[in-house]
Amino acid sequence: MIVRFLAVVAAALVLAGPAAAACAHPRTSLAYLEGQVMCPTCHTTLDQSDSAAAHQIEVFISQKIAACWTAQRIESALVANYGPQILAAPPRKGFDLLAWWLPIAGVLAGALVLAAGVWRWSRREPEPPEPADSGLDEETERRLDDLLARFD
């Protein structure tokens, strides 16, 4: 692991020196691209992988950063070699757009359902209390009223 890290750093330093002066735009970083690019054999991003295939791509990225390539250009080169699945995030076009919009649509739909539920609950009128039931039939109740009237 340490040897691999040192090899990548050494490659970056060796190649970065001569090219640094010629770079006309802010240089991208290996750390940034390691989070954007997948390891093709282990299906994690490069920063979470310790495989030989990931190491090869890290060396490639370091060389291209040293040669002043932008992050977009490096990603395009990797896509041309491995296909779009090499990128951690799907492309923002065509069918792949669904991967971007569906979660947003899901969150919006959930928020709408929640808001509708809260609104309905807050507008609900309190139900009138049910009349107390004495549990007596009408005849008994009438006789009880008569008896009580005598004491009044």
Binding site for other proteins (CB under 8 A): 40-41, 52-53, 55-57, 60, 81-83, 85, 113
- Indicate the residue among 23 and 42 with the shorter CB distance to other proteins: 42
- Indicate the residue among 56 and 140 with the shorter CB distance to other proteins: 56
Q: Among candidates 2, 72, 1, which has minimal Cα distance to 37?
A: 72
Long-range contacts of 51-55 (CB under 8 A, 24+ apart): 55/4, 55/7, 55/8
CB of 41 to other proteins, least distance (A): 5
DSSP state letter for 67: T
Which residues have CB under 8 Å from 45's CB, separation 6+? 34, 35, 36, 37, 38, 39, 88
Q: How many residues does the chain have?
A: 152
CB of 90 to other proteins, least distance (A): 15
CB of 60 to other proteins, least distance (A): 6
- Indicate the residue among 121 and 151 with the shorter CB distance to other proteins: 121
Angle at 8 (CA atoms; ends 34, 41), nearest 5 degrees = 50
- Indicate the residue among 1 and 148 with the shorter CB distance to other proteins: 1
CB of 40 to other proteins, least distance (A): 4
